[in-house]
Structure 1
Amino acid sequence: MLENEITVSANWVKSLVLFAEQAGCDRHRLLDSADLTLDVFNNLQRFTMDETVKLWGACIEETGDPCFGLHLGEKVRPATFHIVGYTLMNSANLSEAFDKLNQYQRLISDGGVFQRLPTSRGVWLVYHPRPGSIPFYYHQIDAVLAAVLSFSRWVTGEVLSPIDVSLAREKPACIDEYRRIFGVEPVFDAEFDGVLISHETLALPLLEADEELCEVHESHARKRLIELESDNGVKDKVVNLLRRYMSNQDAGRAFIANKLGLSEKSLQRKLAEEGATFQGLYNDLRQRLALDYVSDTAIPLAEVALMLGFSDSSAFYRAFKRWTGNTPGDYRGSTAE
């Protein structure tokens, strides 16, 4: 990932693909549409916003569902957002949960922010999308707002409906689905995207509210946010690019330097300043990925060799024996026991 590039959590992206699979889509076909390979998909921690939007487009086209985003948002649960979801669900009430969502939204995605606008009737939660070079699909906004409502219903145990729903998109043919999911008739062709939630609803206590547990989860969320915000060193960028292109046998020092807009000498110098070398990072990542892939019995060993950029299986076997003292087959057998 390049500095300041808009990215999305792998957990959210994988939830998107899983939902499309459950609707009958083929994972490999979806990934091909976004120029992603299965090994990259399985190992990236963050995806670029453009990659994410391409996946959205593939899912929308493959399912043929004009309300795909709406239906995805309807299925969201706190666990969908992992540490952020757990932090929110242990908050005292919905108002506090939405405050924490603003604080930790970036762990889910850099692709948008929420704004709270208080009124006499309630509080507008307005979503401001922040796309990359490819414009958002309206489905993405639908999913976010439907997810807010789905989350709220789940953590309060109440059948909640917003007072109003505002959508900047044009009125769709599947209007009945919007009425069903939101519980009200949205205003379309509006100036902004958001939901108006009553003050009474925001004050509702959450079923899993636990101050102590909330602090435990929030402490982890704060740490992850710090790590994400400091993930700007050249070393981190090199590792992220290597994860993405490990299966490419040409992904050496020159290839990575070019991706970063640096000369090889500049890359070497910057890595040395961070106490690292390109070859050291490459070898360490390759070995760690090898252990992960070999432990996964769903991946054929011949395919592991290709995923790691080896010219053939024998070269991979020799390297693995050097790293672990075992053949890949023996190692897989021992970890499966």
Structure 2
Amino acid sequence: MAIQFVRSALQSAQLHGLDVTAALTLASITPELLGQDSTRVTREQANRVVQALWNATNDELAGFGPKPIPRGTFRMMTLGVIHAPDLREALRRLVEFSRIAAGFDAVETFDDSGQVRLALYPGGRSEADHLVVDIIIAVFHRFASWLIGERIQLNSVELPGATPPYAADYLLIYGTAPCFGAPAGGIMFDTVYLDKPVIRAEAELFEFLRAAPNDLLFRNDYNPTTSSRVRKILERTSDDEAVNAPDVATRLHISPQHLRRLLREEGTTFRDIKEEILRDEAIASLVTGSESIEQLSDRLGFSEPSAFRRAFRRWTGSPPGAYRPSTSPSD
């Protein structure tokens, strides 16, 4: 994911006088990477940052919500939600708990076209205020989908703030491209979901919460977009299997021309997706230090390490060594 998500959370923590050095060290994120706009971080790194901020603040919104939320609040809220008979009642309780416990002005409205809208109003206009709205809206969506055991297809997403340079990342989060500049964060979906029964038990809830914030914030399997389908096919391809756009189109039962058109509508291309996969695999390896540059370059299919280094700089703006905190950036 884009470093800006992590940076916004850290900036908010710093505004509250917290030393974020420990959180960065725990996540193996160097100051150089934090300051580079094109930096990408792994899901595990982001997860460590959030957990470190939780521990430092004893606040489940890490200091950038309308008011502090003591650790364990979300667990108590969800225990009150999970025994609802259906999603309609579960969302009513979740909205009410959000007002009481977190201080959010959350609203649930219906319109004449059979859609429900969940909205959350930011407490201010700073980047941190917008970020917390983004987070809570995503949590509402993913937790609601988990409750009924079915991914809720969103018809639209609205978010406050200007369109960020990393806006494409939101497609992975919501499964649809959001509209920015809205007065509140909101999602709209068909009211047919409201009558779906809540199928989860308390034991399942405790297991779900043990993985927090990973499953609530960082999982990318909630989106049936064309680009996500292409990405999953490519990720499941063995290293020695060459797969091109016509191959993927065949697996999706569409023509190569239609595939290109669908990807273009989502603001990407087949080549872009392949490079994003290579970039993410490279970052994951570099962060863990499991391979040498030569081994990684060879595994990813580069003719030589120098070609890999040039590509990595183009993808992230940094040399591969910058992602190895214990080595020189010139590695």
Taking structure 1 as the reference length, what is the TM-score of the superposition?
0.39
Greater share of residues in helix? 1
Considering only CA atoms, is the larger Rg found in Structure 1 or Structure 2?
A: 1
